[in-house]
């Protein structure tokens, strides 16, 4: 591939990362819009960690074995690892940038920020509602289960999950599953579990500490992010395949569960927006509704650009 083509992959990754950093917008939808979704899913499905580790020996062996390294290169290209690496760099760079911006708005104007998120999520639910079926007891059970699970998790209990490495690892594994599905937002999973502010805060804290030269704070925040990334990697290789299997064998029930999950998660931005507001008035509610409409319009525009979301 040419430099221009690789730049295109990076920019697509950046667009996905920007979407993944915002609850209600799916990086998978951006992958559809930019025409790389099929290649991304095929590359993830074809990724074999054991083969990658097995290739490390010939790659670093001394003296240099040109034939062995050529074989390694061909194997990695065959698994489309260069594509995933460049795309991943784009995703990470955009997530860092957008997370810092989001953290600023969460700090300065949380009501407006969560209103925007609410509009994004609500529009996502409405866009995907046409694919939901309640025609069988299994589908009804999936809908009730998904809604109840998200509604309970996004209550005050979700905000009290322990901030430890195990929690960080698990939410990373859960979030990445949603991030690879069009229409489903990984950041919404974090928001539902009360971990979104914590993770964007870790990104912002690491960035601020790096510029300030605070090695201790930088190490603390980066440790959190590394644990999250490891969880995401494990989730990408395991749980995401389970989700793909569920879509292949129980497509309608799985989609019904996920959409109901998103509907139940609407409690999270409402609770976070108004939980600390001493008294509601017409101005506050009106502003919330206005910014929610803005979020909904943004989501609908993305959906129109991507066409019909397919699974």
d(CA 309, CA 311): 7
Cβ neighbourhood burial of 73 (10 Å; 0-12, 13-18, 19+): middle
Instruction: Quick: pLDDT tens for 238-254.
Output: 766 776 677 778 888 88
SS3 call for 213: coil
Q: Which among 159, 154, 128 is positioned nearest to 260, based on CA atoms?
A: 128
pLDDT for the residue 279:
67
The residue with tokens 């609770």 is: 271
Residues 6+ apart with CB under 8 A from 19: 25, 26, 27, 29, 30, 302
CA-based torsion, 295, 303, 171, 138: positive or negative:
positive
Residue 7 or residue 274, greater confidence: 7
Task: Note the pTM of the prediction, 2 decimals.
Answer: 0.75
Q: Where are the alpha helices (DSSP H) in 61-180?
A: 66-78, 81-108, 110-128, 137-153, 165-179
Residue 142: is its pLDDT beyond 80? Answer: yes
Q: Where are the beta strands (DSSP E) in 152-307?
A: none
């Amino acid at each position: 591939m040419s430099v221009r083509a690789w730049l295109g992959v990076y920019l697509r990754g950046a667009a996905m990362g920007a979407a993944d950093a915002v609850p209600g917008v799916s990086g998978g939808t951006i992958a559809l819009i930019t025409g790389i979704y099929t290649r991304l899913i095929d590359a993830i499905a074809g990724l074999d960690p054991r083969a990658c580790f097995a290739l490390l020996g010939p790659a670093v062996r001394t003296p240099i074995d040109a034939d062995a390294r050529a074989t390694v290169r061909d194997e990695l290209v065959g698994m489309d690892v260069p594509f995933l690496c460049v795309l991943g760099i784009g995703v990470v760079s955009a997530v860092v940038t957008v997370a810092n911006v989001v953290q600023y708005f969460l700090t300065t104007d949380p009501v407006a920020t969560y209103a925007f998120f609410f509009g994004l999520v609500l529009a996502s639910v409405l866009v995907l509602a046409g694919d939901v079926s309640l025609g069988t007891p299994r589908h009804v059970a999936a809908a009730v289960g998904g809604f109840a699970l998200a509604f309970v998790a996004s209550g005050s209990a979700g905000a009290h999950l322990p901030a430890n490495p195990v929690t960080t690892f698990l939410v990373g594994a859960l979030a990445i599953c949603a991030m690879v599905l069009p229409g489903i937002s990984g950041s919404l999973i974090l928001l539902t579990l009360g971990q979104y502010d914590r993770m964007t805060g870790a990104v912002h804290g690491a960035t601020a500490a790096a510029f300030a030269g605070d090695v201790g704070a930088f190490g603390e925040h980066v440790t959190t992010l590394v644990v999250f990334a490891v969880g995401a990697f494990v989730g990408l290789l395991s749980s995401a395949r389970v989700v793909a299997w569920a879509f292949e064998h129980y497509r309608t029930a799985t989609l019904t569960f996920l959409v109901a999950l998103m509907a139940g998660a609407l409690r999270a931005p409402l609770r976070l927006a108004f939980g600390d507001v001493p008294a509601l008035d017409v101005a506050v509610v009106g502003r919330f509704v206005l910014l929610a409409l803005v979020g909904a319009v943004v989501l609908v525009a993305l959906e129109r650009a991507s066409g019909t979301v397919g699974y």
